Chains A and B, each alone.
Chain A
Amino acid sequence: MTWLRTPPEARPDAQAAESPGQDATAARDGQDPAAEGQRNAAAAAATSRAAGRSLGAMGWLRWGWRQLTSMRTALILLFLLAAGSVPGSLLPQVGTNPSSVSQYYSSHPLLARILGDLGLFNVFGAPWFAAIYILLFTSLVGCVLPRTLRLVGSARQPPPRAPGNLARLPFAVSYATPLAPEAALDSAAKTLSAKRFRLRTGPGWVSAEKGYLREVGNLLFHMALLGLLVSIGLGGLFGYKADRLLVNGTSFANTVTALDEFHPGRLVGPADLQPFTVALDHFSASYVTSGVLAGQPSSFVAAIRYSASPGDPMHSYSLTVNHPLVVDGVRVFLIGHGYAPEFRVTDGTGHVVFDGAVPFVPVETAGLVSEGAIKVPDADPQGLGFVGVFLPSAIDVGGRLESYFPAPQNPMVSLVSYAGNLGMNSGPSQSVYSLDTAGLHELPVSPRPLAIGQSIKLPDALGTLTYTGYQQWVSLAITYDPGQTAALWSGIAVLAGLLLSFMVRRRRVFVRASTDGAGNTIVDLGGLTRSDAAGGFEEEFAGLAAEISGLQQGRTEASPLVDPDLEVPDRTGPEPDTQGSGPPAPEQPDSPDTEQSDSPDPEQSAGE
């Protein structure tokens, strides 16, 4: 490669390459001198215009839109969004914890009223919070959409004209040929065209460009980003999430009243829920029974039946972890399990006032010790309440009850009994898993644990509680996200587009042919790649140069066995010496882009 005049290390465009420390946000935000300069110029123009006459409604609108869609605004909004969510985690929220909110109101009445007026007890539903994310969404869409349109333009753009002095390009070579200049150009054009370069010709020059796939990648990336934003938006508007705990042998329907938690998207109402039904026939959990992993779960299987809508036939399904049931576009995940001991409570008058399974919540995983509460507000003469633990495999360890295994090998309950007012006839809703003991008094009952079939006889003829058995329960997460599939494909397309734009380089090759004083035809070849990392272009250019020059000389010398790589061009022409001509001028790397106005470089125009 002796004819490569400028070594890649000395490429002048390396100086112009962006410094790696400069981050994208700073660049986009105009912190680099370039964008700032442009902005200053724009501001100066705006000021001079404003001095002459007012901006006008359209002008202000355009100005506002430009401000909104700037990366600076997007970042500020992003920061506001993060800052706005902080009170949502510091203060109790109406959506997740209404009783704490009412407690806050009673303990700090004035402060609570102010905070409530500011929407800080329902941050994610507050108008100011909605304003932030709607503006952010608009800002991002408004930023991405015009870029997309510009990229379409740049992908269709022809190569720029060949610059005057090809020797100043980072890759340059020149050779003499006996062909006439037109024939030399023609042959070079054919070679480049065969290599799928896009061509543009002019008097005495050919310019060629390749790597438009990079623009396709860019375009794909931007369109996929829009798709991602829209599909996330769709999910937020029309999707919902819900939870439901389901005891063995029972069923539920996907209606609001049957759900434990319901988090609808903004445009979802109770009538929009898909009317499916799920019945739990049998849940089985298997555990490792020996070795170091003893007690670890090995499998969870919930045998369920479901129907897509009322009147439809029931189908069987085996629901396991990470294998959701998909019904009518809604996915039902198995996310948890536990025990629901069964009790029968007879009150002082002899009436059965409670008879059913009560889900207890696991409080540790090794032995699945579970806590819960039994509430019997309508017992006569006094309301009754019980709190306690369920132990699947109960064992007495020095007077303390523990559970040695998560499977029910010795299922026992241990309860504390209360009587009085359960506080369920007024006030905020209570958790079903705990007892509000404010209006209750503890009954002097021995805390002896109960085996199945055993009873607690309450003092003062208040009644009897019998532990009749247990059931297992599963907790189900119900999610509906109409934008999910689209978001997945958009995400894949975003990555694909990004990879394409990273890996494909746009590179240009220019050819000029002229006749020197002695009547010889001198062909100049110049090469330029617009990417920071030129990796590979050096070889590609050398190969192209050898092919172009070799073909033409091969034809003239009628030597079909010539290896273009070995054919060193005949350097009879005057060799321009760039190394000796002083330091490269700053505009050198951009010399092919002297006609920026009619053919803007895609990387520059799209990068603002």
Chain B
Amino acid sequence: MFRLPHFASRVAGAAGPSPRRAAAALVAAAVVLGAAACGAGATAQDTAVGNGSSFVTGSYGTTVFQSGARPKAPDVVGPTLSGSKFRLSTDRGSVVVMNFWGSWCTPCREEAPALGALSRYFSAAGVRFIGVDIRDDPASAEAFMATFRIGYPSLNDPNDLVALDFSGTVPPAGIPTTLVIDRSGRIAARIVGQASYSGLKALITQVEAEHG
């Protein structure tokens, strides 16, 4: 501990580590860091998760857009499960609730009774409900709708074209996703994951009360 500073600096001069050695250590560190960073990047996520069940469930919760900052919904067009044609823009002037679902998806099945009940509750007020059936076969989808007494139509979307229409705006970030679209065709709220009866009811009531 009582080395003379002069001696110390001399030794430093003679036997100081070469940049190559330090550099080699840095390379090792960088490689490990790289691996770690990749690992972290690949798995660190609290937005949407792959869960080994072969579909992505969302955990975003609810996003409400204030009336000035609502993204415009694309004009979704496509065939429904029953074979008729649906066009979102024909519902302009009404509040539209759009629900992305699949008959195979547990949270979709869990929220289905609430959606069915709300569609009946708001039908007198002119609120339109439309489902988008994802990665499903039509037979299972029809059986699902019968089980949960879903009276509103659903688009048959085996090729994800409806979700693709929303890319760049407010895409469904998991299954299920529920969008509340206001009278002017703008997205007022998004629920990713299972929607609750009371939560969705409050959102629809709020948007429905706006003057379109």
Contact = CB atoms under 8 A, between A and B. Distances in A.
A232 B34 contact: yes
Given A37-B3, A250-B158, A271-B170, A354 B137 contact: yes
Nearest to A144: B26
A310 B48 contact: no
B202 interface: no
A259 to B, nearest CB: 6
Interface in A13-69: 16, 18, 23-25, 27-28, 32-38, 40-41
A416 interface: no
Q: Which of A273, A424, A589: most chain B Cβ within 10 A?
A: A424
A607 B22 contact: yes
B164 A277 contact: yes
A257 B161 contact: no
Contacts of A251: 158-160
A351 B47 CA distance: 39
Interface stretch (A164-172, A237-245, A281-289, A445-453): A237-245
Contacts of B42: 241, 263
B75 interface: no
B160 A147 contact: no
B25 A34 contact: no
A290 B111 CA distance: 55
Interface stretch (B84-92, B119-127, B143-151): B143-151
A262 interface: yes
A492 interface: no
Given A237-B41, A270-B48, A34 B8 contact: yes
Nearest to B24: A24
A215 B44 CA distance: 39
A586 B22 CA distance: 25
Given A24-B25, A257-B177, A589-B14, A269 B47 contact: yes
Contacts of B147: 377-378
Contacts of B134: 257-258
A208 interface: no
Contact of B45 (A239, A264, A279, A433): A264
Nearest to A425: B109
A601 B13 contact: yes
A2 B39 CA distance: 62
Contacts of B100: 257
B21 interface: yes
B50 A140 contact: no
A429 interface: yes
Given A124-B44, A378-B144, A429 B51 contact: yes
Interface in B1-25: 1, 3, 5, 7-25
A34 B8 CA distance: 6
A34 B159 CA distance: 67
B29 A151 contact: no
Contacts of B32: 78, 81-82
A378 B17 contact: no
A225 B36 CA distance: 16
B178 interface: no
A593 interface: yes
B68 interface: no
B33 A260 contact: no
Interface in A558-608: 586-587, 589-590, 593, 596, 601-604, 606-608
Nearest to B174: A256
Contacts of B198: none
Nearest to B134: A257
6 contacts: A35-B12, A125-B43, A251-B158, A256-B163, A354-B139, A603-B18
**3 pairs of A and B residues whose beta carbons are closest in the complex:** A37-B8, A261-B50, A27-B17
Given A28-B25, A35-B12, A258-B160, 12 more contacts: A38-B12, A40-B1, A78-B32, A98-B57, A124-B44, A143-B26, A222-B23, A270-B171, A355-B140, A378-B144, A589-B14, A590-B10
